[in-house]
Structure 1
Amino acid sequence: MTLLAIEGLSVRFRLRDATVRAVSDTTLTVRRGELLAVVGESGCGKSVLAHALFGLLPGNARVTGRAVLDGVDVLSCGEKRLAGEIRGRRLGLVPQSPATALTPVRTGRALLTETLRAHRRDPALAERIAADAGLDPADLDRYPFQLSGGMAQRLVTALALATDPPLLIADEPTTGLDRPLVDHTLDLLRRRCDAGGAVLLITHDLAAAERVADTVAVMYASRIVEHRPARQVFGNPAHPYTAALLDALPDRAFRPIPGDPPMLTALPAGCAFAARCARVTAACAELPTGPVACHHPLLSEAAA
């Protein structure tokens, strides 16, 4: 059953002398029980996509398209409904930057218990939720400035879990964590999906996505260029960018992608990866579309 349906979502930031095309014509679905990972290089638009769903973009942002969550278009429902019905209740967020998300004058325990009370849940759940997120209950009595980066990351994860939302958006939730805690956090997200919830995981950690994702959407220069089951993406990548991204991993070819991504203020009319691609032809001057947005996919059956 589809929980979130994103159709043609685009985000533009208007600057004085340019327009940043941060997200372009994105269409995705997240189903109950599914973990969808959105992966790609830094600056490709992954976090902007998440913030658009929460209505947390600055005033110079222009958002178009639809994003229907459990029957409500979160892009057009208005701030009052977002604040009263959506944020924290139907849609949870693990933010990318815990240091800017935590109230500095509240301990972790105060933040958790206040969140639980606001959502009519038992405040006594605070320590259990903290432990589920990998946080020592004793650390709940510390203020955010007394926490390490990894501890702060675990605290914002616990806060997102406290409201038990049907859909959780986790934006780089493993930042600052050592490998055992990375695995702990990923397994926690996976269990939520196995229990009937859903997770949209935003990450540049391809190993993390491979470990837990059902479906992977690969983002490049504001667009989704490949959207397929995870086992297919990691086993037989179809888009040249996906293959190059995987080949850059240390446990694979460890080969960097040549060149640089285009500026989001000057995207080409056709394929944005063409300038870095060995398979480029004249056809690439036209914008490719589909679950594998490439005129010359590595696997012709994948494009179909």
Structure 2
Amino acid sequence: MLSIRQLGVSFTQYDQGLNQRQLTVITDLDLEVQAGEVVAVVGASGSGKSLLAHAVLGILPDNAQVTGSLRFKGQPLTPARCAQLRGQDIALIPQSVGYLDPLMKVGPQVRRVAQLGGLSKAAAQTAVGRTFNRYDLLPSTQGRYPFQISGGMARRVLVATAVVSQADLVIADEPTPGLHPEIATETLTHLRELADEGRGVMVITHDIEAALQIADRVAVFYAGTTVEIAAAADFPERLRHPYTQALWRSLPQNDFIPVPGHQPSPDQLPTGCLFSDRCPWFTPDCAAERPALRSVRGGLVRCIHAD
């Protein structure tokens, strides 16, 4: 359904005076989302997760340049096609509640999305009422503006917006922060149900264990690139990349061992492996060139030492 090959995203910035520079924040990023599956995208802050979602939706700022291949259902995602598909065939559950229109009541906002998906006015009203009830939002919530509801309620409204759409691809950018644990679990379960109905679902999250509850595959990002794509069943024993292994061990419920060092800045990326200065497997060959994404034990990994 969604195919991304060697995606690059850079931004033109002014340095001093009128001098411009190019800041590359995503490079050689690869990912696929099939119909009927949930792909979780995990990684540290600044690894390019949300930028990927914005690139797919065509909502990057004007100073952004995109290279590589982005295809949806086999056809290129051109800017014009992104605008046509956005909110209809491709739906976003954004990370920030600021995406809600502050001048419009939340009920009409969600109903408008349902109608854009092809539902009649009456059917849209029914779908909104049913979805709001599912996420413990009282009927009176529909008549309130975003500033009149709590942050957790606003996030549930965003989830409801994507759920009532008829989108074939749903991108959920950190859909559970601020939700009660039971509602968070139910939200993830519903995303799984959407995939079981034949939709493609991409879940961007910091919570690896939550993602593993519903994901078929997990894509691990580091410094703007894909370092590993593994089946959910591969966690933790069959992981291939040293960063993925270290990320898993850093969780409080696991060994709680922090990954030493820092993710490289986009304007100071090393020539070779992006993880080389923090990697326990480092050899001089790692610094020679950027490793390619290759198949190892049924998964994909960007490491010359993985076997």
Whole-Å Cα distance in 1 between the matches of residues 116 and 62 of structure 2?
28
SS of the residue 1:11 aligns to: strand
Secondary structure, counterpart of 1:270 in structure 2 = coil
Whether the aligned pair in 1 keeps the contact of 2:9 and 2:67 (CA below 8 Å) is yes
**Cα distance, 1:39 vs structure 2:** 0.3
1:256 match: 258
- SS of 2:130 mapped into structure 1: helix
Following superposition, the deviation at residue 72 of structure 1 comes to 2.5
1:199/1:47 Cα in 2 relative to 1: closer, same or farther (>3 Å)?
Answer: same
Task: Please report the TM-score for the alignment, with normalisation by the length of structure 1.
Answer: 0.91
| 1:65-144 alignment, distance < 5 Å | 65-74=68-77, 76=78, 78-79=79-80, 81-84=81-84, 86-98=85-97, 100-121=98-119, 122-124=123-125, 125-144=127-146
Q: Specify the alignment match of 1:171 in structure 2.
A: 173
- Count of residues paired in the alignment: 291
Aligned counterparts of 1:137 and 1:224: Cα–Cα separation in 2: 43
Instruction: Return the letter of the residue paired with 2:117.
Output: H
Residues 122-179 of structure 1 show CA distances to partners (whole Å, capped at 9, x for unaligned) of 2222111223344333322221011111111110111112222011000111121121
- Aligned equivalents of 2:110, 2:244: Cα separation in 1: 39
Q: What percent identity do the matched residue pairs reach? A: 41
Q: Deviations over 1:19-59 (max 9, x none)?
A: 32221112211111110011000111000011001110111
Task: Report the AA paired with residue 58 of structure 2.
Answer: G
Normalised TM-score (structure 2): 0.91
Supply the distance in 2 between the matched residues of 1:65 and 1:210 (Cα, whole angstroms). 29
RMSD: 1.4
Asked if residue 294 in structure 1 is aligned to residue 303 in structure 2, the reply is yes
**Structure 2 gap segments, 5+ residues each:** 16-20, 294-299
2:124 aligned partner, one-letter code: P
Question: Aligned partners of 1:138, 1:235: CA distance in 2, in Å?
Answer: 48
Alpha-carbon distance in structure 1 between the residues aligned to 2:69 and 2:59: 16
Distance, in Å, in 2 between the alignment partners of 1:135 and 1:206 is 27
For 2:2, the equivalent position in structure 1 comes to: 4
- Higher deviation after alignment, 285-294 or 240-249: 285-294
Instruction: Tell whether the 8 Å contact from 2:8 to 2:66 is kept in structure 1 after alignment.
Output: yes
C-alpha distance in 1 between matches for 2:236 and 2:166: 30
3-state secondary structure, aligned to 2:267: coil
- Aligned counterpart, 2:296: none
2:276 to 274, 277, 295: 274
Q: Distance in 1 between matches of 2:186 and 2:136?
A: 7
